[in-house]
Amino acid sequence: MNIAIDARSVTWAKGSGIGTYTSNIINEIQKISVDYNYLLFWCDKDYKNISNNRIKNMILSKKHTNFFDKIYIPNSLKNNNIDLYHIPQNGIGLNESIDCKKIVTVHDLIPYVLPETVGPGYLKNFLESMPKIIELCDGILTVSEYSKRDILKFFPAFPEEKIYVTPLAANEKYKLLNKNKCKKRIQNLYKFDTDYILYIGGFSSRKNVKMIIDSLKESLSSLKSEVKLLIAGSLKDEGLNLKKYCSDINMDDNVLFIGYADEDLLPILYNGCTAFIYPSLYEGFGLPPLEAMHCGAPVITSNTTSIPEVVSDCGLLIDPTSQSQLSESIVKLLNDIELQQQYQLLGLMRSKHFSWHNTALNTIKVYTEVLNSPKDPE
């Protein structure tokens, strides 16, 4: 059987959940011995990491996406006798002229659930495209049971048995390192000398970063020792607004906005922190808490959406709308070294339940099931 995968999101969405997912699925699929041949569509040099005699790489331009989506890719699928086409980036680019079987990965439906948290251009494109994508595809991969329920909520006509949950995983670089050495490196890099708590994950309003700042301010008088909050992420728009907010409430000395953190620095940030804080209001999966647990960081995170599927009872789960709950959890965890050690161990054990190899294996099982199922009548 011949399978094609749209790999362009490895470039388009590099550093994001979608880009990470697509890159890891492709990397793991090539290691799995199964009698499938693959055609991969790329738009940059990332294909050079792929070397397998069952894989054919096709390089497309970064420009003229309409031409490639509507004409070039459908013709290439036909000319290469493709049996199944997988689009990992929420199905964006799926065209009705494609006549082989089609699978899309829908990571979340945030534009439907929290439209105010996404940009107007993306919102318009997503809301216009998604109904047609759902109609055209023969199967949907998604990353959590919660996202599956959202898909069924907004698209109840789609058969539940054709929605397959394949959870994400953390990359191999996220692992346990020497905590004191990591903490010292971060202290030297950003010029401070206290313990620190950490947030990584972007500045969309649904990420709820302002509440971390407010909760820390509320907690300061109850903490046994001084602590900094390190916030990683490119400082623009909402990030700059939050930095100004810290100045307005006199939290400059307690909060460090460290800007964009290189991917190689992220495991060191996670390993060195006393706690990782992630009170997101909505996640399709929630990779940062899993990455933190892989690095032995005790996690305080939300008890809503998909996050409990990832963290289970191996972190402190709070209501992300309750500042008092977050403040109390910060005090509880930071003032109790034994509790930190307990959640470090629980998180490390929990993180072992997730691997990209298993995600890829389950993805191939879905390919096989969809390929063997009768095609729906037009």
Same fold, 2-169+356-372 and 179-351: yes
Predicted TM-score (pTM) of the model is: 0.93
With contact defined as beta carbons under 8 Å apart, do 113 and 376 qualify?
Answer: no
Euclidean distance between the first and final Cα of the chain, in Å?
Answer: 23
pLDDT at 172: 93
Give the pLDDT confidence score for residue 53 in this predicted structure. Answer: 81
Assign domain 2-169+356-372 to a CATH class: alpha beta
pLDDT for 91 equals 94
| pLDDT value of residue 13 | 81
pLDDT of residue 77: 95
pLDDT for the residue numbered 43:
87
Confidence of residue 35 (pLDDT cuts 50, 70, 90): confident
Average pLDDT over residues 52-79: 88
The DSSP secondary-structure symbol of 120 reads H
Cβ neighbours, 10 Å, residue 133: 20
**Region class of 201: left (phi > 0), else alpha (psi between -120 and 50), else beta:** left
Q: What is the pLDDT of residues 48-62, one digit of tens each?
A: 677 778 889 888 887
pLDDT at 248: 96
pLDDT recorded at residue 271: 98
Which of 166, 30, 15, 31 lies closest to 103 in space, CA to CA?
166
List, for residues 222-257, the tens digit of each pLDDT value.
999 999 999 999 888 889 999 999 999 999 999 999
The CA distances from residue 85 to 4, 93, 104, 157, 190, in Å, are 5, 12, 8, 22, 46
Mean pLDDT of 212-226: 97
Question: Which pLDDT band, with edges at 50, 70 and 90, does 376 fall under?
Answer: low
- Please identify, in words, the CATH class of the domain defined by 179-351: alpha beta
Whether residue 375 is predicted with pLDDT greater than 80 in this model: the reply is: no
Confidence of residue 377 (pLDDT cuts 50, 70, 90): low
Q: Where are the domains of the chain?
A: 2-169+356-372, 179-351
Report d(CA 207, CA 201) in Å as an integer. 7
Mean pLDDT of the chain: 94
pLDDT in tens, 99-144: 999 999 999 999 999 999 988 999 999 999 999 999 999 999 999 9
Alpha-carbon distance 358 to 25, whole Å? 10
* Alpha carbon 269 to its chain's center: 18
CA dist 291 and 294 (Å) reads: 5
**Mean pLDDT, range 12-29, rounded to an integer:** 88
